Amino acid sequence: MEEWIHLNRAEEEINLLSPLTWAYVGDCVYELYIRTNLVNETNLKPHKLHIETIKYVKAKSQAKLLEKIYDELTEEEKNIVRRGRNAESHHLPKNANVQEYKYATAFEALIGYLYLTKKWERLKEILCKK
């Protein structure tokens, strides 16, 4: 993927982006990862793929995954998570409580940050813990 997606910002510049921007990218990266895995691992039809995908990408599931991996994160990654969790969003969650939503945003921020900074191996390690 890195051959055809051109990321042209320096890490210092990425550090200055809003954690909600990281989460915006992380949401997409994580959902694409889940969808791709389901297509590779199952023979489900599109509607069933969608239903199965939701189980992983909903806020409650992402919050639980972050809780599961938190102790294995580096201090830098924990800082990214903290910034993502504390980012002020004016969006109210539909299917999660506020705490789950904040932790899901923190998880997405971490995924987005790792993706934007091209830390492919670490991103893969974290995604494979699904």
Q: Which positions are catalytic?
A: 27
Helices (H) and strands (E) in the chain, counts: 7, 0
Alpha carbons 66 and 56: distance in angstroms, whole number: 12
CA 1-73-115 angle, 5° bins: 20
Helices 59-69 and 98-116: crossing angle, nearest 10°?
Answer: 70
Under a CB-based contact definition with an 8 Å cutoff, are residues 61 and 55 in contact? Answer: yes
